[in-house]
Chain A
């Protein structure tokens, strides 16, 4: 079964609002990454957080990791219409393999 599951499955917000997506996983991990996928395109890496980190920032993105709860969240602040995409978390466990979650479809309305 898939390692990660995101919620919500879909999220609709207005431009300027913040978007929060959550990812839960089942087993211990080394690192957790977030990727974005625009419709009809490949995935694009956003940010990587290591298991010994609790929070990481990159521009308008903020990622948190709670290894005790086996969960992570991705916050996009001041969202824009261009942020409309699907967002996936991906985990690895000391191997080269990434296990992707089910994704959250984000729609940002102008």
Chain B
């Protein structure tokens, strides 16, 4: 099992640019979660999907952030336009059937916005 796959692993971009982060969940998992981790705020849930449908996006910081899950094996998190305060590590996680259940995390994407 390849686990949760995220790309890119590192992204450096300039303020104002569009950033797209990608995630491939574990095959057969029904739930997908996007988190952001910073030193100041810790690990924050941004949005999660069940069976490809967004269930709770209350953690999305603002309209500059959007997430999609067009099928069971792919999700994107987009930031447009990016700002320096978006610099963080973004994790994708998947779960077999949602909570309460173990979540399996990807390796993360370290985003730096200059």
Find the B residue at minimum CB distance from A51.
B100
Chain B residue total in the interface (Cβ 8 A)? 23
| Chain A positions 71 through 110: 1 when the CB is less than 8 Å from some CB of chain B, otherwise 0 | 0000000000000000010001001111111110000000
A45 in the interface (beta carbon within 8 A):
yes
Asked if A92 and B106 sit within 8 Å, CB to CB, the answer is no
Chain A residue total in the interface (Cβ 8 A)? 22
A44 in the interface (beta carbon within 8 A):
yes
Question: Taking A41-B107, A42-B91 as contacts, is the C-beta distance between A31 and B100 under 8 angstroms?
Answer: yes
Asked if B107 and A48 sit within 8 Å, CB to CB, the answer is no
A2 in the interface (beta carbon within 8 A):
yes
Question: How many angstroms from the CA of A74 to the CA of B109 in the assembled complex?
Answer: 28
B108 in the interface (beta carbon within 8 A):
yes
Q: Which of A42, A50, A97 contacts B99 (CB 8 A)?
A: A97
Taking beta carbons and an 8 Å cutoff, which residues of A are in contact with B? 2, 30-31, 33, 41-45, 48, 50, 88, 92, 95-103
Q: What would be 7 A-B contacts, judged by CB atoms less than 8 Å apart?
A: A2-B42, A43-B91, A88-B43, A96-B31, A97-B56, A98-B33, A100-B43
